Amino acid sequence: MPPAAADQQPHRCDRLDALRGAAIVWMAAFHFGFDLNHFGWIRQDFYRDPVWTWQRTAIVSLFLFCAGAGQALAVLAGQSNGRFWKRWGQVAGCALLVTAGSWFMFPNSWISFGVLHGIAAMLLLLRVGLARLPDLALLALAAAAIVLPHVVQHPVFDTRWTNWLGLVTRKPITEDYVPVLPWLGAMLLGFVSTRARPRLWQGSAPQPLAVLGRWSLSFYMVHQPVLIGALMAIQSIR
């Protein structure tokens, strides 16, 4: 990625945008299946069946890897603090909207720390300090982030006020849960790999996916209301 002035728009990378777009398509298909199950049109166990749980892990990992890669490109391009905080505010604001919407839709399992909450927290960690560390240190932190929740758990982290860290003894009852640990590991891997080899993202990519990837946050916020609304409308006339 060529350097850019601090107040300029960082160059887009079609390959990264397309990868993010592919993750969006996969996520929408996953959520469509979840919604069909919620309305009783299919019968699947989205909470324990590996067919679904492993898909969720892969989708979230892709999103966080792309978020880390995007932050690396922004740093290399000299992104200004103002532009970062504007984008961060959009992510954090959307996370609050997700919390409010999930409380309305799922009052017994509303989302207090889902994927947008996790992305906002992890981007903050990168911006305020982690991005200054050398690659080897970040790789070590990524490995520690992935391993630590499997070896360290304590009941003090089982509340909604503390489970954001990830050192829980049991998974909370919620529709989405993406704590800092272990998921910070995926974001750090995206950041390190891109900072080390930014040219890997240069080149052509499928434009429909690239365009979708550039609007990933907007798509994320509207796709579930659209899917749920459509299914409710169909159900009402059946």
pLDDT in tens, the chain (238 residues): 333 333 334 457 999 999 999 999 999 999 999 999 999 999 999 989 999 999 999 999 999 999 999 999 999 999 899 999 999 999 999 999 999 999 988 899 999 999 999 999 999 999 999 999 999 999 999 999 999 999 999 999 999 999 999 999 999 999 999 999 999 999 999 999 999 999 989 889 999 999 999 999 999 999 999 999 999 999 888 7
pTM for this structure? 0.91
What the block records as the tokens of 128 is 């305020």
